Structure 1
Amino acid sequence: MADGYRIFGAEMSPYSVKVRSYFRYKAIPHQWILRNAASQAEFETYAKIPIIPLVVTPDGTGIQDSTPIIEAMEKLYPEPSIHPDDPIASFVSALVEEFGDEWGNKWMFHYRWARDVDQISSAGRIARMRGPKAGEPEHAAFAGQVRARMVDRVWFVGSNEVTAPQIEAGFIDMLGMLDAHLSARPYLFGGRPAFADFGLWGQIYEMWTDPTAGGIIGGGAPHVLDWVHRMLWPKAEDPFEAWSTLQPTLMPILQKQVGALFLPWTLANERALAEKQEEFGVTLADKTWTQKPQKYHARSLGMLRAKYAAVEDKTTLDPVLEAAGCLAGLRG
């Protein structure tokens, strides 16, 4: 493993398991290192910011942030590609990857910390991960500290008394559409995983490991559940599909989730940051959404717009994005 990569991550981090799934798919030699007290000194040697995942290359370079990690590795390991040949499908995949990272994280974080049963489960698992040899009194005290800290941070993803019903209703709606889409194919864009699979799967995998969301997924979305398991060790089974065959069940997701919820939210977040607002409100699907601005997301929105701008021929893509309610926001 001396010549391989090292991934510093955590099983309860959607972005960590996203990167691990990608490395497994590409068969890139790697070592999975749990970020905890034992590995913290080594982590700090390579990390520029205190987030996971951190990938350390064989030459000792540290790379952080799941999307840039995958994009960097894709240049080194281009086959099998995670980008469909169909130009519409290829960009939609990038769009859904961003949606998964940013909007899907709202579902995951909300469900993980909204109810007592999930708080107790998650805090206990995190405490055991960070202190595997702790005695019961020490473990219980640390779990209590984790629970208090994380419950106090749900505002970060926009979870509050106003938005909680919207987050949960939106996830249930998404789960139904996603299950219908995956009933006809093993992965989001056909017979092999695309960029979108890794981003969206990381969030839903984490939800599946939690009591409340896991019960909802396991009890009502069998095709999503199969996909959750499949993406732990994804493989190229068949080719990607053309947009024409994906469109009937993927377009409703774009319209009802990405265009109606995610894009209006991200544009409102961008305006709030520009105007230095401490809190902003935006109407999403006829309901008011309120939250504090997310600084990081303004940068990822810029990266998404750059990907759109880089598409040389937008003749067939733009009508799809217009019908999905995404075009104006991507043009900036």
Structure 2
Amino acid sequence: MNKKLTNAANIHHEQKLHADSKALKPGEEDHYRIWQAQASPYSYKVMTFMNYKGIPYKKVIGNQMELAWTKKVAGQSIVPIMLAPDGQVMQDSTPIMIYLEQAFPDKKTVPDQTGLAFIMWLIEEFSDEYMPRLQMHTRWGNEQNRNTLSHRISRAITFGSTEMETADLAPILRQRQTGFDQHLGLEGEGVRASLDQQVKDLLAILEQHFLHYQFLLGYQPSIADFALYGPLKVHFYEDPYSNEIMETLAPRTCNWIQTISDLGDTRGCAGQTEFGDWIDFDNGLPESLQDLLAYIGKTYIPFAQNCAEACVKREKHYQAEIYGVNASFSAHQYRGWSFEELQLRYQALTGQDKEQVDSVLNQAQILPAMMSGGVLHNGLFDGFTPPFIKDGIPDARIRRLKEKEAQAKTED
């Protein structure tokens, strides 16, 4: 116990604020509660989506006092985690948004055109699964960001703590982050230079797109916007080193980030309330969006396809060539499952919808690679109902870990 912190009046005030944020007061019975973090792109993906749709919620800081609770209810220390008004535990940003889209149908975020909706899910998948490689490269790949972010994350974790201060935890977090390089293919000759170029190429594509459209699919935000907003806002726009890259190379993308940030904000009438239409997929995709798909074909597809195949083979690591540079990655079961979900969405397309999608995917060289091995089944969520979690077990991986823990205790 840190005596200086124990006797600090504002620390106790922070603890009260934190406790109040978790409680539903009279008049808040319909509110969701979201355990989130400032440095979590998935937290902001969900919250800006909820802001846009006008879904009531309360923010809870995922600090050190919540680590044991999140592991108890979700099987792991992770954000975002949500409690529904009826107390059900919800986790995983995409299934959460799918559920909320159905529960709150006003202000639709999924296009009616089936083919365009698939393009949306493809961009969403790229944003959730490949963007972490770019964002971890920029966040921890330079001294300025390493120093700043280790302290920013520590500041949130130690909110209301009488055990440690930000400066105590920051060096520990900074050292821990280096261990993630091997999992995301951030090691090897030419990798970092390739990733620098990938960042610049992505921003150039987005700049061209936002010259003609306000949002990714036209003049109305979709789930794809909220998904890509998360990493671009939380990592690229807010991290000091990469913010300079954003401001100098991608001013229109910065404007898009600000627009998404303001959605639902009634203060000063900041949040946009009138919107246009989505792109008419019957007329094809604009060149800038086709360029984004080609970029996804060069980055996400080999990354995810090889991961899914490795998961099926129960291999722990795999190789993928991206932008002409070969790198080694850890096989991630969730990523394999998520890729299967995308494959199943594609497999469900029929008739003209499939013909239209095939045309743009072949042009982007996403096909035939995306389906080259058929649908790659991953049993991670077999028998589970994401986003809802029961008894603290969200998926087969956590169930297996808990079974091993129980067996170890029995043997002791």
Settle same-fold status: TM greater than 0.5: yes
**Does residue 322 of structure 2 align to residue 295 of structure 1?**
no
Deviation string, structure 1 residues 41-61 (Cα, Å, up to 9, x no partner):
654564343321111110111
Q: What's the secondary structure of 1:327's corresponding residue?
A: coil
TM-score (norm. length: structure 1): 0.93
Q: Which amino acid aligns with 2:233?
A: Y
Describe how 1:135-174 pairs up with structure 2 within 5 A. Answer: 138-162=165-189, 163-174=191-202
Aligned-partner SS, 2:174: helix
Aligned-pair distance for 1:93? Answer: 0.7
- Corresponding position of 2:324: 286
* Secondary structure in structure 1 of the residue aligned to 2:327: strand
Q: Is the 8 A contact 1:18 1:199 kept in 2?
A: yes
> In the alignment, does 2:254 pair up with 1:225?
yes
- Tell me if structure 2 keeps the 8 A contact 1:8–1:33: yes
Q: Deviations over 1:220-248 (max 9, x none)?
A: 11110001111113355212121337421
Q: Distance in 1 between matches of 2:286 and 2:301?
A: 19
Shift of 1:121: 0.5
Match of 2:125 in 1: 98
Equivalent residue number for residue 242 of structure 1: 280
- Equivalent positions of 1:177-326 (< 5 A) are 177-206=205-234, 207-234=236-263, 235=272, 237-243=275-281, 244=283, 246-255=285-294, 257-313=295-351, 314-326=354-366
In the TM superposition, residue 17 of structure 1 has moved relative to its aligned partner by: 0.5
Offset at 1:159? 1.4
The answer to whether the Cα contact below 8 Å between 2:182 and 2:328 also exists between their aligned partners in 1 is: no
What whole-Å deviation, never above 9, does each CA across 1:57-100 have from its counterpart, x for those lacking one?
Answer: 10111111111110111110122111123333211111000000
Q: How do residues 115-154 of structure 1 correspond to structure 2 at under 5 angstroms?
A: 115-133=142-160, 138-154=165-181
- Per-residue CA shift, 1:228-272, capped at 9, x if unaligned? 1111133552121213374211101111x2112211221122223
Alpha-carbon shift at residue 165 of structure 1 (Å): 1.7
Distance 2:119 2:312 in 1: 27
CA spacing shift, 1:225–1:27, aligned 2, 3 Å: same
Measure how far apart 1:277 and its partner are: 3.8
SS at match of 2:368: helix
Q: What's the offset of the Cα at 1:123? A: 0.5
After alignment, is 37-46 or 126-135 more displaced?
Answer: 37-46
- Given candidates 24, 35, 40, the residue that maps to 2:51 is 24
Counterpart Cα distance in 2 of 1:325 and 1:123: 39
CA–CA distance in structure 1, aligned partners of residues 107 and 297 of structure 2: 30
1:294 CA drift (Å):
2.4
**For 1:260-305, what per-residue CA distance to the aligned partner results, in whole angstroms no more than 9, with x for missing partners?**
2211221122223334444332222332232232232101111111
Measured on the aligned residues, the alpha-carbon RMSD in Å equals: 2.1
Report the alpha carbon displacement of residue 135 of structure 1 after superposing the two structures with TM.
8.8
- What is the DSSP-based 3-state SS (H/G/I as helix, E as strand, rest coil) of the residue aligned with 2:220? coil
Residues 220 and 277 of structure 2 are in contact (CA less than 8 Å); yes or no, is this contact kept in structure 1?
yes
Output the amino acid matched with 2:215. Y
CA contact (8 A) 2:186 2:327 kept: no
Decide which structure has the larger Cα Rg and report it: 2
Distance 1:290 1:43 in 2: 31
User: Is the contact between residue 114 and residue 151 of structure 1 (CA under 8 Å) also seen in structure 2?
Assistant: no
**Is residue 46–residue 56 contact of structure 1 (8 Å, CA) maintained in 2?**
no
TM-score, normalised to structure 2, is 0.76
What 5-or-longer segments of structure 1 have no aligned partner?
Answer: none
Flag the 1:151–1:135 CA change in 2: closer, same or farther, 3 A: farther
Do structure 1's residue 69 and structure 2's residue 69 form an aligned pair? no
Q: Residues 85 and 240 of structure 1 are in contact (CA less than 8 Å); yes or no, is this contact kept in structure 2?
A: no
Q: Are 1:4 and 1:58, in contact at CA under 8 Å, matched by a contact in 2?
A: yes
Q: Does the 8 Å CA contact 1:87/1:317 hold for their aligned counterparts?
A: no
Please say which of residues 291-300 and 128-137 is displaced more in the overlay: 128-137
